[in-house]
Amino acid sequence: MAEETRDQGAENATATTEAGTAGATGEATGSPDTRRVKIIGIVCNWCSYAGADTAGVGRFKQPANLRLVRVPCTGRIDPLFALKAFEKGADGVLISGCHPGDCHYSEGNYYARRKFELMERMIHHLGIPQERFKWTWVSASEGARWQQVVTDFVAGVESLGPRQGRAL
């Protein structure tokens, strides 16, 4: 919209975003459109983090755009995490945990499954394209699957390029 928005905090809001992304990576990147996409991955410790480890140990080649945040269980993941990642300038958010039935804490991912489904629908409702948010299940031994998931997801995000979020 061409209309001017109101003054309050507008000057400061953009300052946060710039400070946030520059500070987090420590790099002064070039023009926004050519920088590498930054993806935040939120993964559970027991399955997906270990799965990522397996992929690493097995030397499976995968794009390096992912920064992992490790949580004990996907049941601990609050929608706040994904939304805040987008607010602070993430180009994509990937969530992964144990397959339902295999949760290290028995039930965490059963709760998570419901939350993430709603979260995904609401994220699209905000105008964030579906290529930028994904949730899935990767177990500790599925190194190859992890490689596939990451490669596909990064390709999807890169096809859209870096994200210039206006409202989140």
Partner 1 sequence: MSREEHIREFATAALAEGRVDYFIGWQQGYNSSEVIPVFIRDAAEVEQLVWNPLCHHNLVTFLKRNMPDPPDAKIGVCVKGCDSRTLVALLQEELVDKDKLYVVGVPCDGIVDRRKLEKEFAAEMVAIEFPERGKVVVTTRLGETQEFAQDAVLLDVCRLCRYPNPVYADDTAGPLETEPDRKHTQPDWTDIADYENFSDDDKQAVLEQIYSTCIRCFACINVCPVCYCWDRCVNRSRQPELVSQKVGAKENLLFQMIHMMHVAGRCPSCGACDRACPVEIPLYLLHRKMNKEIYDMFGFEPGTSLDEKPVFQTFRIEDEFGD
Partner 2 sequence: MTIKYLQADRLPAFLEYLAEDARVVAPFKRYGVVQFEPWSSGKDVELDVLLAKQSPKEYIFLQTQTYLKFGYRMEDPETSAPDGPGSDDAASEGEGAAKKAEPDESPTVGIPHETVHVEPILEAQTQVIFGCRPCDARGFVQTDNVFGGYGGFYYDPLYNARREVTTILAVTCREPRSTCFCTAIGGSPAGTEGVDALFTQVEGGFVAEALTEKGEAALAYEGLADAGAAQTDAAAAVKEEAIPKVDMPFELEGIRDNLHDNIEGQQWHHLAMRCISCGTCTYVCPNCYCFSINDQIVETEGERYRVWDNCFNPMYTEETSGHNPRAQKSNRFRNRFSHKFWYYPDKYDSLLCSGCGRCIMHCPTRIDIREVLRVMGSPAPEPEPAAAPATGEGKEA
Contact footprint for partner 1 (CB under 8 A): 1, 3, 5-6, 8-10, 12-13, 16-17, 78-80, 83-84, 87, 100-101, 107, 110-111, 113-119, 121-122, 125-129, 135-137, 165-168
The span from the CA of 56 to the CA of 79, in Å, is 28
| Contact by Cβ (8 Å): 162, 35 | yes
Nearest-approach distance from CB 9 to partner 2, in angstroms: 4
Nearest-approach distance from CB 87 to partner 1, in angstroms: 5
Task: Rule CB under 8 A: say whether 24 interacts with partner 2.
Answer: yes
What value, to the nearest 5°, has the Cα angle with vertex 162 and ends 157 and 163? 95
Nearer to partner 2, 14 or 141 (CB): 14
| Contact by Cβ (8 Å): 68, 41 | yes
- Give the 3-state secondary structure of residue 107: coil
Task: Rule CB under 8 A: say whether 8 interacts with partner 2.
Answer: yes
Six-digit token pair at 73? 């269980």
Work out what residue 119 binds among partner 1, partner 2, none; the CB cut-off runs from 5 to 8 Å by kind. Answer: partner 1
Work out what residue 26 binds among partner 1, partner 2, none; the CB cut-off runs from 5 to 8 Å by kind. Answer: partner 2
The span from the CA of 46 to the CA of 33, in Å, is 36
Handedness of CA 137, 142, 143, 145 (dihedral sign): negative
Binding site for partner 2 (CB under 8 A): 3-4, 6-9, 11-13, 15-16, 19-20, 22-24, 26
